[in-house]
A = this chain, B = another copy of it.
């Protein structure tokens, strides 16, 4: 174990729920000896990775992190991150991939990358898709509360093809499958001959859900390759979820209010 990995582990201990940690906290979380951890934390403080609160000897991410967070060209938005992840998947698999978000009953493509395969699905940035009849749409819906989904489809739903869910009950079954497995699939639903695998990740701070999706010709894909795509997508999505403190909470129906700081007037 190099000290950089140790430092990395320490920094990963911090989260929204635990923005400040003591030495003993970190010892407990990492399981490393107290002495090493003590020296490590002091070294990290000296280097600017951490800073200590005057009261209670608590550590938190330090000035160096604040410096990096100010660099606005390093886009840290979920969209930029999800887009980068999809691009990586596209390069790996050669299939087309895109990132999309939900808008009422529709899914909108926000960014897309075309694959290298001769037979490939064209990307459609800005195009709308029925949420209920697509892998990416059901992935996004899976992070809403049941009540909200029912409200959204209270007038019933339209199935553009035989394989798409035709009733609210069908849809809920498919959504529950997504919730359980962590990914969403579709074959021949909105577009004939097209297969899709999608996952979803939410940024709880912005209450924003985005879906990662890889699309491919349904006929030519091998079972093994499909499995591989699913595995990689779940891996990359899990990484994004960790980065954004997404612990699987459902999306809030109403807009969350930001708490005001204590003791300091806001501008």
Contacts and interface: CB of A to CB of B under 8 A. Distances in A.
A149 B48 CA distance: 37
Question: Interface residues of A toward B: which range?
Answer: 35 or more
A76 interface: yes
B71 A14 contact: yes
A265 B126 contact: yes
Contacts of A44: 4
A175 interface: no
Contacts of A63: 239, 243
Number of copies: 2
Contact of A74 (B47, B61, B265): B61
Contact of A71 (B15, B79, B108, B266): B15
Interface stretch (A5-13, A132-140, A162-170, A177-185): A5-13
Nearest to A264: B111
B61 A110 contact: no
Interface in A90-145: 91, 101, 108, 110-111, 125-126
Given A43-B2, A261-B80, A265-B125, A70 B245 contact: yes
Contact of A111 (B2, B20, B61, B265): B265
A66 B43 CA distance: 22
Given A2-B47, A16-B71, 14 more contacts: A2-B3, A4-B46, A5-B47, A11-B64, A14-B74, A15-B71, A16-B72, A19-B71, A54-B91, A65-B69, A79-B264, A80-B261, A110-B267, A125-B265
